[in-house]
Structure 1
């Protein structure tokens, strides 16, 4: 048997593109300025997200918009993001495939419905640690806690079903997000170091991810890697190639599941590579 040589074929098999969003495909004006993003002159900017008031918040440069347009035209674009179901609605892009949301706790189908199989798995993982998440919330948000002033704590919740036959979903806390009101990244870095001592068995139940002015306290069961692996193993065509991009260290585990992966030339992953 002779192995054939490659020949171009006009019948293209669309690859899966599993893409982080914020700071990978678009960013705020503040970060455009900090990173000196090319082709981001005002006349070239394209609005990618809005804030809660519906005002433009994040933008794509001319090059980024061309790249995103190519992704939608040439790939099966699958969102993999920390954004929850409310936050993803403020991204003004025409998603039409699977969506991995809330750091991997939520999977939406192509028609925007919750994927029940994954919901039930997450319910079983999250329900037993609700008391510990509430304990952490009270500890960090208590008025007497002056150790870390100016922290903005946001518990992220969603509804999860017990089983496929249940019509009664339960609202569960998925993870805790913390920002610093004055964007003092050092305070968040210090908090990340002290968290394991604040609650018994913290490391057994949670991990901490810090990226600039965002700190997340997440149960071990909640990770982009877990959700992407679930899709790759059970619901995506194994004959189709996959690639992806992400800017954060938290993206690397899911990216390493793919055939090819990369990063933008800015952000946490890029900076980490420069220091090694």
Structure 2
């Protein structure tokens, strides 16, 4: 058998692009300034998200907008984000394919419908953890518990959704009002001591002013793997982008992956001796 040489084919097979959003495709003005991003002059900025009051919050540089436009036209772009179903509505960009939301707990079809098989699976995983998530919520939210930093400006937000007619807490998000990242880092070290078998049920992800306490079943990688194995065409190439260490596990499932030249993942790799 003779192996053929490559020949150009006018019938293009669109690759899949699996795309993290915040700090990968757009970011706040504060981060634009901190990272000194190019093509972010006021006349070049493109509004990507709004806050709860409908005011512009995050922006794309001209280069980021061009990248997104190119990916939208030449690939099937699949969103993979920590944003939940309410938060994704504040992203003012067009999406036409699958959406992996809430750190992987939710999968929406191209029509915006919940993927029922994944809903059933997540219900089975989350239901047994509700009491422990409530216990963690009470502990962190109790302002008398100074030893876990509750008086240090922590803002706790439980994220929930409906699974098989039951509203279940998915994970806990914590921010610091004054953006003191060290307070969050210290809290992350204390969390495994708060309840028995914490590490058995949960993991902690910290990125800048965001700390998330997540059940092991909730991960972008798990949801992406489910899509790859059950719903995406294995003959089509896939590549992806993400800025966070939490993105790396799902990116490693793909044929190719990359990152912006800023953010947690870039900083981590830059700090390694190559």
What TM-score do the two structures reach when normalised by structure 2? Answer: 0.97
How far apart, CA to CA, are the structure 2 residues paired with 1:198 and 1:132?
10
Query: What is the DSSP-based 3-state SS (H/G/I as helix, E as strand, rest coil) of the residue aligned with 2:110?
Result: coil
Once the two structures are TM-superposed, the CA of residue 267 in structure 1 deviates from its matched residue by 0.2
Q: Is structure 2 residue 232 aligned with structure 1 residue 236?
A: yes
Query: What is the DSSP-based 3-state SS (H/G/I as helix, E as strand, rest coil) of the residue aligned with 2:246?
Result: helix
Q: Corresponding residue for 2:27?
A: 27
Aligned positions, number: 269
Once the two structures are TM-superposed, the CA of residue 7 in structure 1 deviates from its matched residue by 1.4
Q: Corresponding residue for 2:255?
A: 259
Task: Give 2:264's match in structure 1, choosing from 265, 268, 273.
Answer: 268
Q: Corresponding residue for 2:154?
A: 151
Task: Give 2:198's match in structure 1, choosing from 191, 196, 202.
Answer: 202
Query: What is the DSSP-based 3-state SS (H/G/I as helix, E as strand, rest coil) of the residue aligned with 1:89?
Result: helix
Q: Corresponding residue for 2:175?
A: 179
Once the two structures are TM-superposed, the CA of residue 77 in structure 1 deviates from its matched residue by 0.3
Q: Corresponding residue for 1:247?
A: 243
Q: Corresponding residue for 1:129?
A: 129
Unaligned runs of at least 5 residues, structure 2: none
Query: What is the DSSP-based 3-state SS (H/G/I as helix, E as strand, rest coil) of the residue aligned with 2:33?
Result: helix
How far apart, CA to CA, are the structure 2 residues paired with 1:94 and 1:60?
14
Once the two structures are TM-superposed, the CA of residue 5 in structure 1 deviates from its matched residue by 1.0
Unaligned runs of at least 5 residues, structure 1: 162-168
Task: Give 1:213's match in structure 2, choosing from 209, 215, 221.
Answer: 209
Deviations 1:72-128 (A, max 9, x none): 100000000000000000000110100000000000000111110000000000000
Q: How does 1:95-134 map to 2 (within 5 A)?
A: 95-134=95-134
What TM-score do the two structures reach when normalised by structure 1? Answer: 0.97
How far apart, CA to CA, are the structure 1 residues paired with 2:81 and 2:15?
19
How far apart, CA to CA, are the structure 2 residues paired with 1:242 and 1:137?
38
Once the two structures are TM-superposed, the CA of residue 143 in structure 1 deviates from its matched residue by 2.5
Deviations 1:184-225 (A, max 9, x none): 000000000110011111000000000000000000000000
Q: Corresponding residue for 1:165?
A: none
Q: Corresponding residue for 2:47?
A: 47
Q: Corresponding residue for 2:142?
A: 142
Query: What is the DSSP-based 3-state SS (H/G/I as helix, E as strand, rest coil) of the residue aligned with 1:207?
Result: strand
How far apart, CA to CA, are the structure 1 residues paired with 2:108 and 2:189?
34
Deviations 1:32-69 (A, max 9, x none): 00001100100000000000000000000000000000
Query: What is the DSSP-based 3-state SS (H/G/I as helix, E as strand, rest coil) of the residue aligned with 1:250?
Result: coil
Once the two structures are TM-superposed, the CA of residue 146 in structure 1 deviates from its matched residue by 2.4
